Amino acid sequence: MNSRSKTSTVLVVLTLGFCFLACSFLLNLWGHPALRAPVPLVDLAFIEPSTARLSAADLIKAKADTSNFECYTCHDKKNPVKIKYDTNEMIILPTEHQDLKMGHGRHNRNNNCFNCHNEKNLESLQTRDGRELKIEESPQLCGSCHGPTFRDWEAGVHGRVSGYWNRAMGGFERKTCPSCHDPHSPKFPPRKPAPGPHALHTAVASSPAEQEHH
């Protein structure tokens, strides 16, 4: 066979091969690979770095508007606030404070504003032993009742801490209790747990021997 005949034969074979491949793709002889299940996106609530709420201490530290916390804009220092209760011993909130949800403690045992607020100075707090505290010092007030939780907070295992664990590398910031808990109703509503790790690649099916071993 001369070189021209060989060339013609190769071209015919290649042409037939490409035609076969083209028909195979058009007829989908080998099928399509299975589509991967889309990876579900994580709810932003699980990766949001900010705290659940913005406390008065946060506003004071940021030098933001704290006019809502200036009690004596409405109250008279010379006339102490009188707390009113209904027939079920439930506190009657005035219209100006209807936005508050009172739910601190079980069985309404903490149903008294002056368990935490200082009746002699509404813009400060008072502990069970009578110490007067600034609004920014609220963890000391919380700790007067919630000792174990307060000690966990001091150790950094409860609450939100940001910055450096190694103090030699830089500072850190420990958020106060009201940055997460509403002081008037501190219990968190139920939340769904964060999703577990999601494999981006399909797991390879193990052999029967491996399955039996596991």
pTM score: 0.68
**Whole-angstrom Cα distance, residue 7 to residue 27?**
30
The answer to whether 136 touches 61, Cβ cutoff 8 Å, is: yes
User: Domain residue spans in the chain?
Assistant: 51-179
Q: What pLDDT shows up at residue 88?
A: 86
Residue 210 has pLDDT above 70, yes or no: no
Q: What pLDDT shows up at residue 213?
A: 47
User: What spatial distance separates the first Cα and last Cα of the chain, rounded to whole Å?
Assistant: 63
Report strand pairing: 132-133 vs 121-126: antiparallel
The DSSP element (H or E) to which 153 belongs, if any, is: helix 147-155
Q: Which of 12, 18, 57 is nearest to 177 (CA)?
A: 57
Q: Which of 101, 133, 99 is nearest to 116 (CA)?
A: 133
For 10-52, the pLDDT digits (tens) are 788 888 888 888 888 887 777 777 777 777 777 887 888 888 8
Q: What is the mean pLDDT of the chain?
A: 83
